[in-house]
């Protein structure tokens, strides 16, 4: 495993983050694994040197945080040995204040997350989406208070438009408060619209990118085929994936398959190696429901693609509508 700073912050993370959304309650998603099935995968990640783990309060309505806290507590001798990230925004109950990025919701949510995680702080507290109903001044002041209280060491953001992220950063810095050190954005070989504005902004601001869905919800690993063919349980029950990607993207998938075949490695390794080499990317967030998924991700850290291979992978790209929320 290799390690890097998260943007220009002092926080060091492994070049891969393990996404903990895959571990939770099957009643929430059919493909999610219970704790006993998740443990061998998380253990393999720890043994491989992964130190960065990402979850959210809304994953299985808190169940993922509970599993994450227990597993990391068993697998690491000290809390200081790993970087723990979680998120806030989505509804966690029926009440009108149990959602969004108001001071009320942020302050109650950080305490609830810490209880479920079994720790007194998270290393990275992220806003899961942009809140169109709450003034950004209120949100950034509340997040600054979370940092000043010691309940979070750093703050990060997730999918939004670049102008929104710039506004949030300006608001924080004008007030002398904590600013975002990371952006968890949607970025992979078949969705590269972040290269237009968001990634240049992050590079300018010293913000580290931790892309979600680096394999396009399995598309770049061969989980889907043209014409609606589905090869995995998750691909067969993923309406968001149907919305985000189209048959036009399979030309990119074919290029990944060709390079992978020539290299004699799985497609996932090639797709992740491309992303790991992109400017501004600190650590893609990978999901794993089998140890083989994790092994492919770890191997990608050491896979260096040639300029010719990168050109072949990028050539078939078809532009997508810019999405600030997913």
pLDDT of residue 123: 98
Cβ-Cβ contacts under 8 Å for 126 (sequence gap 6 or more):
56, 85, 86, 87, 88, 155, 156, 157, 158, 182, 184
Tokens in use for 239? Answer: 């309406």
pLDDT of residue 240: 63
Low-confidence ranges of the chain (pLDDT < 50): 235-236
pTM: 0.93
Which residues are marked as active site? 59
Asked whether 182 and 209 are in contact (CB, 8 A), the reply is: yes
Burial 40-54 (b: 16+ CB within 10 A, else e): ebbebbbebebbbbb
The tens digit of pLDDT for each residue in 195-238 reads 999 999 999 999 999 999 999 989 999 977 766 665 555 544 55
Strand pairing report for 224-225 and 229-230: antiparallel
Q: How many Å separate Cα 93 from the centre of its chain?
A: 23
Report residue 65: phi and psi, to 5°: -65, -40
Looking at the domain that runs over 3-314, which CATH code has it been given?
3.20.20.100
Helix axes 162-174, 198-205, angle to 10 degrees: 20
Asked whether 123 and 76 are in contact (CB, 8 A), the reply is: no
The tens digit of pLDDT for each residue in 32-65 reads 999 999 999 999 999 999 999 999 999 999 999 9
Report residue 181: phi and psi, to 5°: -105, -5
pLDDT of residue 56: 98
């Amino acid at each position: 495993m290799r390690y890097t700073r998260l943007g220009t912050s002092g926080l060091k993370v492994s070049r891969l983050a393990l996404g903990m959304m895959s571990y939770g309650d099957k009643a929430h998603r059919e493909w999610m694994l219970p704790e006993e099935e998740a443990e061998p995968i998380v253990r393999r990640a720890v043994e491989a040197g992964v130190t960065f783990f990402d979850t959210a309060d809304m994953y299985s309505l808190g169940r993922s945080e509970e599993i994450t806290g227990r597993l990391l507590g068993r697998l690491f001798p000290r809390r200081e040995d790993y970087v723990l990230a979680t998120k806030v925004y989505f509804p966690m109950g029926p009440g009108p204040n149990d959602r969004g990025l108001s001071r009320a919701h942020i302050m109650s949510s950080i305490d609830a997350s810490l209880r479920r995680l079994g720790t007194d702080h998270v290393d990275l507290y992220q806003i899961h989406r942009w809140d169109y109903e709450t003034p950004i001044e209120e949100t950034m002041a509340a997040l600054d208070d979370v940092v000043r209280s010691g309940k979070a060491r750093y703050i990060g953001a997730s999918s939004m438009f670049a102008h929104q992220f710039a506004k949030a950063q300006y608001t924080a810095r004008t007030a002398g408060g904590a600013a975002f050190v990371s952006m968890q954005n949607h970025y992979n070989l078949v969705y590269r619209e972040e290269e237009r504005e968001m990634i240049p902004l992050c590079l300018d601001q010293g913000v580290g990118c931790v892309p979600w869905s680096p394999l396009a919800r399995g598309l770049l690993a061969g989980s889907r085929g043209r014409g609606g063919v589905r090869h995995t349980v998750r691909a067969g029950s993923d309406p968001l994936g149907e919305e985000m990607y189209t048959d036009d993207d399979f030309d990119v998938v074919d290029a990944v398959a060709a390079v992978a075949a020539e290299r004699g490695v799985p497609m996932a390794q090639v797709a992740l190696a491309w992303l790991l080499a992109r400017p501004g990317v600190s650590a893609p967030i990978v999901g794993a429901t089998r140890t083989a998924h994790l092994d492919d991700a770890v191997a990608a850290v050491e896979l260096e693609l040639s300029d010719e291979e990168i050109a072949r992978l990028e050539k078939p790209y078809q532009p997508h509508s810019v999405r600030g929320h997913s």
